[in-house]
């Protein structure tokens, strides 16, 4: 116990005065004669004992009353446990990741945390606040309340180490005691570092949801695409086994395109398939109904009308116009070049390359074809007749593709079809046995092949490997009647379809994404990424007939957008946040030397207030003084 005015304690010496008065007070007695002296002595003895007890009790209560009164004026108090706690530099982290949409005892975790924080903020102190996507420095309680009321969810959460660095940057210049208050549900993806060793005091406030059952739309992809039909698959996951069926709907804006139901049963994943008749979908959404997290119940996507595949046919002195009649617009843009008139600029932008009976493959051509192969551009090789294929084999070795071997001069029928191969899938309603098989006069054997079409002796006529389609025989009319066969159209058409680039249905927010759009722009003009409520100007550069945009510097919310140039829509884009927040797995920390755990936000600030305040005792001493005064009065009044 300490005193604010200890000099008043000297007044305790004044207690000697009542003590002296009581000890040295003299009383005179008158003598009276009585006949019975024995009886008189007995009465006097009893009176003296009663008087002496009353005198000492009154003396004690009076001195205690004066002592407590003097102590009260000296203002005694117990000092604060941590006097610097209230004045410490504080940084509060409030987790606003999508997992905070989960429901706790007081409703949605983030909304409840905001309300508790607003109620608990100290009025006469400035506090810094950080979230996953915002930073507020040294704000008063009123200013911070306004910011908290407008706080939304973050698309891309940060890990613990990054948040710790941000907090340390804010606390770096302070010479006061430093506190980092961490309010979160502590999902495992935070990667919490338990070995914290720094001068900063860490105060963790866990927010726990009542239910961890959550169903999420994870992703979608195109499984098959035709001229006006799109087949795609939607992948869903559940945080735990779920027995009930879930309805999955596909929308284009407000128009319902398709709907189905999936069941997880004992698995924690499910898949839904859809077939949509549409050339393009500009405002696509996949939706489910789930009472847990809201953000992962919708997946935004857009499907742009595909651009025609650029097909480059390189031929020797052999007619290749039959390919023009198969690979036609609008799906394909086919250009045929003689080998000595080849436009390498066109070649390097091709989506499909066909070598039609070239005598050899030159070094420059090999280099360009190898570069295209590294970009997954399909290559079709139709060999020349009666030629040394050494240059082809060297090139195929470089691509790790099947190789040609000896020439066979024997008429052979083409009889075997791999009906389950993608090039022939859907071509026949059933396996055909009575068929007018085409034939060849000469052919090459192909080593290490995956046959699509085979001869009657099981050697390959059309083989595929490492993204290269190899015919074993020339297709000119002198060597084969394959051009007149019904097989030629589906074979080359499906090869062409494999070259059609499947557009990205959506992109992840917060990622460094480069998107190439077929669009010619002027040097001083820019493209915009636009939605009903947003307008972004991305980093961009013109690359000939294309413009390349980069979204790295943009904070694009999830949703459907379109690329605008000169006030006109050019292409559709969609963005979705990562689904990592959907995994409701938590890692609640334990209290250690550097980490203190608090039950809730209010409890932390109450502990802080108690620790920083001293306990005044003068009121208690005044009360005791009054009590002793009352006791003294009662003694004087009733004690005889």
Give pLDDT, residue 239: 83
| 8 Å CB contact between 598 and 179 | no
Which residue, 234, 220, 98, is CA-closest to 507?
220
pLDDT, mean of residues 604-628:
72
Task: Say if residue 481's pLDDT is above 80.
Answer: yes
pLDDT-wise least confident of 288-297, 450-459, 550-559, 588-597: 588-597
Q: List pLDDT tens digits, range 173-215.
A: 666 778 899 999 999 888 877 667 677 888 999 998 988 889 9
Task: Say if residue 606's pLDDT is above 70.
Answer: yes
Tokens, residue 562: 């379109």
Q: How confident is the model at residue 523 (pLDDT cuts 50, 70, 90)?
A: confident
Give pLDDT, residue 279: 78
Give pLDDT, residue 26: 43
Query: What is the percent of the chain where pLDDT is above 70?
Result: 87
Tokens, residue 375: 């970009």
Task: Say if residue 430's pLDDT is above 70.
Answer: no
Task: Say if residue 150's pLDDT is above 80.
Answer: yes
Q: Show the DSSP H helices in 327-481 as ranges.
A: 344-348, 363-374, 390-398
Cα 386 → chain centroid: 61
Q: How confident is the model at residue 428 (pLDDT cuts 50, 70, 90)?
A: low
Task: Say if residue 40's pLDDT is above 60.
Answer: no
21: left (phi over 0), alpha (psi -120 to 50) or beta: alpha
Q: List pLDDT tens digits, range 81-138.
A: 555 545 578 899 999 999 999 998 889 999 999 999 999 888 878 889 999 999 998 8
Give pLDDT, residue 621: 74
Give pLDDT, residue 35: 59
Q: How confident is the model at residue 609 (pLDDT cuts 50, 70, 90)?
A: low
Tokens, residue 571: 């292409």
Give pLDDT, residue 3: 65
pLDDT, mean of residues 314-329:
91
Most confident of 23-37, 63-77, 498-512, 606-620: 498-512
Task: Say if residue 255's pLDDT is above 70.
Answer: yes
Give pLDDT, residue 426: 65
Query: What is the percent of the chain where pLDDT is above 90?
Result: 41
Strand order in the sheet with 514-517: 514-517, 546-550, 539-543
| Maximal C-alpha separation, the chain | 172
Q: How confident is the model at residue 337 (pLDDT cuts 50, 70, 90)?
A: very high
Mean of the per-residue pLDDT values for the chain? 84
Task: Say if residue 581's pLDDT is above 50.
Answer: yes
Which residue, 345, 336, 302, 293, is CA-closest to 318?
336
Give pLDDT, residue 434: 55
pLDDT-wise least confident of 106-110, 167-171, 357-361: 167-171
- Torsions phi, psi of 268, nearest 5? -110, 20
pLDDT-wise least confident of 266-270, 489-493, 560-564, 565-569: 266-270
Residue 265 neighbours by CB distance under 10 Å: 11
As to burial, measured by CB atoms within 10 angstroms (0-12 exposed, 13-18 middle, 19+ buried), residue 418 is middle
pLDDT, mean of residues 69-73:
79
pLDDT, mean of residues 305-322:
89
DSSP-based three-state secondary structure for 251: strand
Task: Say if residue 249's pLDDT is above 90.
Answer: yes
Task: Say if residue 540's pLDDT is above 80.
Answer: yes
Measured distance CA(116)–CA(96) in Å, rounded: 15
Task: Say if residue 28's pLDDT is above 50.
Answer: no
pLDDT-wise least confident of 127-136, 184-193, 533-542, 559-568: 184-193
What's the number of CA atoms in the CB half-sphere (13 Å) around residue 265? Answer: 4
Q: How confident is the model at residue 27 (pLDDT cuts 50, 70, 90)?
A: very low
Give 415's DSSP letter.
E
pLDDT, mean of residues 583-602:
85
**CB-based contacts of 630, cutoff 8 Å, min separation 6:** none
| 8 Å CB contact between 369 and 379 | yes
Give pLDDT, residue 507: 93
């Amino acid at each position: 116990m300490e005193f604010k005015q200890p000099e008043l304690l000297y007044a305790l010496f004044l207690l000697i005065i009542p003590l002296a008065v009581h000890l040295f007070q003299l009383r005179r007695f008158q003598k009276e004669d009585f006949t019975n002296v024995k009886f008189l002595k007995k009465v006097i003895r009893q009176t003296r004992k009663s008087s002496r007890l009353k005198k000492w009790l009154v003396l004690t209560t009076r001195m205690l009353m004066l002592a407590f009164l003097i102590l009260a004026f000296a203002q005694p108090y117990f000092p604060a446990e941590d006097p610097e706690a209230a004045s410490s530099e504080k940084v509060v982290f409030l987790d606003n990741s999508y997992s905070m949409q989960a429901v706790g005892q007081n409703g949605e975790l983030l909304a409840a945390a905001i309300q508790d924080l607003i109620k608990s903020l100290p009025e006469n102190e400035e506090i810094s606040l950080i979230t996953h996507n915002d930073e507020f420095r040294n704000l008063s309680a009123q200013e911070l309340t306004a910011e908290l009321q407008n706080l939304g969810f973050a698309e891309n959460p940060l890990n613990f180490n990054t948040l710790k660095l941000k907090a340390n940057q804010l606390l770096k210049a302070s010479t006061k005691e430093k506190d980092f208050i961490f309010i979160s549900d502590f999902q495992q993806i935070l990667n919490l570092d338990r070995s914290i060793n720094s001068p900063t005091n860490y105060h963790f406030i866990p927010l726990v949801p009542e239910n961890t059952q959550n169903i999420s739309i994870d992703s979608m992809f195109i499984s098959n695409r035709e001229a006006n039909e799109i087949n795609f698959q939607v992948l869903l996951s559940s945080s735990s086994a779920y027995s009930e069926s879930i309805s999955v709907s596909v929308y284009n804006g407000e128009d319902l395109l398709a709907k189905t139901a999936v069941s997880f049963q004992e698995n924690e994943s499910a898949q839904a398939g859809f077939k949509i008749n549409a050339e393009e979908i500009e405002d696509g959404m996949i939706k489910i109904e789930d009472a847990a997290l809201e953000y992962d119940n919708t997946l935004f996507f857009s499907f742009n009308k595909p651009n025609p595949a650029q097909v480059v046919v390189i031929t020797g002195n052999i007619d290749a116009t039959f390919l023009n009649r198969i690979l036609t617009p609008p799906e394909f843009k086919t250009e045929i070049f003689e080998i000595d008139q080849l436009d390498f600029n066109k070649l390097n932008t091709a989506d499909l390359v066909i070598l039609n009976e070239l005598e050899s493959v030159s070094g420059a051509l090999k280099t360009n074809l190898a570069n295209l192969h590294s970009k997954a551009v399909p290559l079709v090789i139709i060999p020349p007749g009666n030629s040394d294929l050494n240059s082809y084999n060297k090139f195929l070795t470089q691509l790790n593709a099947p190789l040609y071997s000896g020439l066979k001069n024997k008429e052979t029928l083409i009889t075997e079809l791999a009906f389950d191969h993608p090039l022939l899938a859907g071509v026949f309603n059933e396996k055909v046995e009575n068929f007018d098989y085409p034939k060849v006069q000469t052919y090459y054997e192909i080593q290490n092949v995956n046959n699509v079409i085979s001869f009657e002796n099981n050697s390959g006529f059309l083989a595929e490997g490492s993204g290269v389609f190899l015919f074993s025989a020339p297709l000119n009319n002198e060597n084969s009647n394959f051009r007149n066969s019904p097989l030629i159209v589906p074979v080359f058409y499906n090869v062409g379809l494999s070259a059609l680039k499947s557009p990205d249905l959506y992109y992840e927010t917060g990622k460094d994404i480069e998107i190439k759009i077929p669009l010619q722009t002027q040097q001083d003009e820019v493209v915009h990424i636009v939605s009903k409520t947003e307008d972004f100007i991305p980093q961009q550069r013109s690359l000939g007939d294309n413009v390349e945009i980069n979204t790295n510097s943009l904070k694009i919310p999830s949703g459907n957008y379109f690329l605008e140039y000169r006030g006109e829509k050019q292409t559709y884009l969609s963005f979705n946040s990562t689904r990592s927040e959907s995994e409701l797995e938590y890692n609640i920390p334990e209290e250690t030397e550097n980490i203190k755990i608090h039950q809730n936000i209010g409890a932390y600030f109450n502990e802080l207030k108690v620790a920083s305040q001293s306990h005044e005792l003068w009121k208690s001493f005044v009360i005791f003084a009054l009590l002793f005064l009352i006791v003294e009065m009662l003694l004087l009044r009733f004690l005889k």
